[in-house]
Amino acid sequence: MAGVPKSKADFVAQRLLDRIVSGNLSPGSSLGTEADLLQQYDVSRPTLRESLRILESQGVLELKPGPKGGIIVAMPGTDILAHGLSVYLRMHDVPFVAVLRAREVIEPALAAEAAESGTEEDFAAMQASIDRMMQVDHQDGFIEENRVFHSLIAHASRNHVMTIFWSTISMVAAGEGHGIQYTTGNQKRVAEAHQRILDACKSRDSAAAAASMREHVRELEQLIRKSYKYLLNQATTIVARDGRRVG
């Protein structure tokens, strides 16, 4: 939590976050009771509660009521990043097509790194995903398997920062959230594209992996231009804290 705190509640929230980080407190750890924190930080109850709400909104804390509850350290998820980014994009009138083009930059870079850093176990998991995709006969199963494959590419890149960017952007850009449907022909072409990407990765050809992924991601934009043109300049959908789309 960088910068100068705007209020006493912000200041206390920053102190609490510093305590969590410096103490290397793991998710599920207790930060203490409200009474403990009031005494330690010498603030009013409303100020402390506002500080806790700030950290809760950032996914750093979970406030559990009841005798077995308390102030519990949590691990922020990418849904929090996706929510904040999608709100920013929506409020600044950034259209859906701009988010798609961000994917066109991020995903080829991940595929290139997957070709360099992926393991045989990674490649086996990708092949299993492709094999499952070829067998699915319903839209939801196809969409989920498509997501699985791309997540496996991101994981195989071993680039943690880029993987976070991908996960965040993919939540915002997900076509199903905009009502995009894939025909049987579309699904077959996606599976074939995944196979080309995997083959390039297994050959350790980072340039070919990036090129195949770039072509694959651009096909989504081409599909939209052909059948869902109205979506291109549609406002970015807001993603809820749990990863769902809310408007």
* Residue 173: predicted pLDDT: 81
Residue-level pLDDT, tens digit, the chain, 247 residues:
455 457 899 999 999 999 999 999 999 999 989 999 999 999 999 999 999 999 999 999 999 887 667 899 999 999 999 999 999 999 999 998 898 899 999 999 999 999 999 999 999 999 999 999 999 988 889 989 999 999 999 999 999 999 999 999 988 887 555 667 888 999 999 999 999 999 999 999 999 999 999 999 999 888 888 888 887 888 888 888 765 555 5
Q: Among positive and negative, which fits the CA dihedral 142, 78, 180, 208?
A: negative
* Residue 26: predicted pLDDT: 94
pTM: 0.81
* Residue 204: predicted pLDDT: 98
DSSP E strand boundaries for 47-110? 61-64, 70-73
* Residue 31 and residue 20 in contact, taking contact as beta carbons nearer than 8 Å: yes
Distances in Å between the Cα of 69 and the Cα atoms of 25, 26, 65 are 17, 16, 5
Q: d(Cα 166, Cα 241) in Å, to the nearest integer?
A: 17
> Residue 30 CA to chain centroid, in angstroms?
27
Residue 40 burial (CB < 10 Å; 0-12/13-18/19+)?
A: middle
* Residue 1: predicted pLDDT: 47
